[in-house]
Amino acid sequence: MCVDFYDHESKYSDQAEGFEVQYNTLFCFRNLVDDFYLQHCEEEHVNVDLFALPIKSAHAEVQAQGVLKIGTAKLPLTKVLQSDTSFQCQEIVFRGPGGEELRVGKLFFQLSMRKSIAQALKWFKESKSIKMMKQGDNQNSQQKAEKKVVEIRIGRAEGLKIVGRGAPIDVRGMTPFLSYDFYTFEFRSHNIQGSNGDFSCLRRYEVEANSQF
């Protein structure tokens, strides 16, 4: 099992056997709790990829066969902001080469903060409320300004490489993500596994078609 969260390096569980695996694994991530992090928790998820070793690959001479990806579970982070520490359940989805999706199992998990973020969350919500009020005031004062919707869609990445590091790097171990700045907006995608992957990012931004834009 491979776990990707926020801007951390991937973490892996120990290998286990069976169709109803008991991982009993604890993954810890240390983060700076600022507005950007809370915004991430409000909108994004923890990406969990599950893999299986071919039966023969238990022998050293065939380890080169690699692993088989079973599927992916996306664990929503909103429960963390709600201080909900109960066990949750999320489907494990396998995506075929044609984009078709197949539910292959369920992953039971628990998310929690080691320390309370109540104060930081309070300021985040107040700040967000103030920004929304200001945006409302600006919209009322600029009613004549024409609105435009800009759509940014990003699909797949293929053949990614790491250069300038000296020694060759196994691209299968990469967990790249993408980020961009557009006008007054910022975006950071989820991580993908390896040099080829599907970001499937679609964002729509409403802007005023004024001289500043």
Predicted confidence band of residue 157 (pLDDT cuts 50, 70, 90): confident
Residue 72 predicted with pLDDT over 90: yes
- Read off the pLDDT of each residue in 30-51 and give the average, rounded to a whole number: 87
Where do the H-state alpha helices sit in the chain? 35-43, 78-81, 118-141
Residue 27: closest CA among 116, 115, 111, 90: 111
Predicted confidence band of residue 142 (pLDDT cuts 50, 70, 90): low
Alpha-carbon gap, residue 100 to 132, rounded angstroms: 39
Residue 57 predicted with pLDDT over 70: no
- Read off the pLDDT of each residue in 139-159 and give the average, rounded to a whole number: 76
Predicted confidence band of residue 189 (pLDDT cuts 50, 70, 90): confident
How many degrees, rounded to 5, is the angle at CA 107 between CA 27 and CA 110?
Answer: 45
Alpha-carbon gap, residue 48 to 76, rounded angstroms: 11
What residue type is 174 in one-letter code?
A: M
Alpha-carbon gap, residue 1 to 25, rounded angstroms: 10
Q: Where do we find the tokens 């286990």?
A: 16
Q: How many CA atoms lie within 13 A of 61 on its CB side?
A: 0
How many degrees, rounded to 5, is the angle at CA 51 between CA 203 and CA 165?
Answer: 70
- Read off the pLDDT of each residue in 137-162 and give the average, rounded to a whole number: 75
Q: 206: part of which helix (H) or strand (E)?
A: strand 197-208
Alpha-carbon gap, residue 177 to 94, rounded angstroms: 20
- Read off the pLDDT of each residue in 14-27 and give the average, rounded to a whole number: 85
Query: What residue segments make up the domains of the chain, in order of their start?
Result: 2-118, 139-208
Q: Which pLDDT value is given to residue 62?
A: 43
CA 158, 164, 168, 172 torsion-angle sign: negative
Which range, 72-76, 97-101, 129-133, is most confident?
72-76
Q: Which pLDDT value is given to residue 58?
A: 47
User: By mean pLDDT, which of 26-35, 48-57, 68-77, 176-185 is the weakest?
Assistant: 48-57
Q: Which pLDDT value is given to residue 59?
A: 45
Which range, 75-89, 116-130, 137-151, is most confident?
75-89
Contact in structure between 190 and 206 (CB atoms under 8 Å): no
Alpha-carbon gap, residue 127 to 130, rounded angstroms: 5
Q: Which pLDDT value is given to residue 140?
A: 59
145 token code pair: 């300004």
